Amino acid sequence: MLRASKGKKAVLTFHAIGDRDGVGSAVALSKYFDGATVVTPDFITNNAKRMLAYIHQENAVSTRFPDDAEIVVILDVNNLFPLGKLADKIEGFKGEVLFIDHHALHEGKEAKGALMFNTEEYNSTSSIVYDVLKELKAPITKEIATLLLNGITADSADLQNSTPHTFMQISEMLEISKLDYSFFINYFRAAIPARNKYQVIKDVSAASVEMIGDYILVYGQAREHANVAADSALKLDADITVFWVVSNTEASISARMRAPIDKELSIHLGVMMRETGKMLDGNGGGHACAAGAYGPKKTAAREAAEELVERIKDRLREVQKR
Q: pTM of the predicted model, to two decimals? A: 0.79
Lowest mean pLDDT across 25-29, 103-107, 220-224, 228-232: 103-107
| pLDDT for position 107 | 60
| pLDDT for position 309 | 98
**pLDDT confidence of 272, banded at 50, 70, 90?**
very high
Partners of 243 in the β-ladder: 220, 254
Q: Does residue 109 surpass a pLDDT of 70? A: no
| pLDDT for position 191 | 66
- The superfamily (CATH) of domain 3-188 is inorganic pyrophosphatase (n-terminal core) (3.90.1640.10)
Q: Which of 283, 274, 280, 273 is closest to 303 using CA atoms?
A: 280
The CA-based angle 184-148-273, given to 5 degrees, is 100
Q: Does residue 281 surpass a pLDDT of 80? A: yes
Altogether, the residues listed in the chain come to a count of 322
Bigger pLDDT: 155 vs 314 = 314
| pLDDT for position 300 | 97
What is the CATH number assigned to the segment(s) 194-320? 3.10.310.40
Predicted confidence (pLDDT) per residue in 32-52, tens digit? 999 999 999 988 988 899 999
Distance CA 195, CA 201 (A): 10
Q: Does residue 212 surpass a pLDDT of 90? A: yes
> Left (φ > 0), alpha (ψ -120 to 50) or beta: where does 294 sit?
beta
- In a 10 Å sphere around its CB, with 0-12 CB exposed, 13-18 middle and 19+ buried, how is residue 90 labelled? buried
Going from N- to C-terminal start, the domains of the chain cover: 3-188, 194-320
